[in-house]
Amino acid sequence: MTGQVSGAARLLPWAGPEGKPCYVLGDGTGYVSRVADNVERVQLGMAGDLLAHATDMLDDRQVTSAQLRYVVARMAEALRDVHRIAESRGARLGAVARRE
């Protein structure tokens, strides 16, 4: 065994201490990669649910400004998660394209 890891660094869907990005090296089949895939799946599902909730709130004339501020704050969090997932997946697509 050479100790070398194949594949590019993958941006993980969570931050480390002090909000710094976390990465994993490998071919995408290891334990940390599988956990990251599951976390991304949950984050994307939550973002979709939140979008549906926000759409319903916009149709409701009884919604207060405090409720709207709260949902916008949650949407900002979800957008950060989705953006990180897009960056990670885009970087991995670029790595695949460079190998071909």
Please report, in tens digits, the pLDDT of each residue of the chain (100 residues total): 444 455 679 999 999 999 999 999 988 899 999 999 999 999 999 999 999 999 999 999 999 999 999 999 999 999 999 999 999 999 888 765 555 5
Contact 52, 59 (CB under 8 A): no
Question: How much is the pTM?
Answer: 0.81
Instruction: State the maximum Cα–Cα separation within the chain, in Å, rounded to a whole number.
Output: 65
What single letter denotes the amino acid at residue 3?
G
Task: Return the pLDDT at 99.
Answer: 53
DSSP state of 62: T
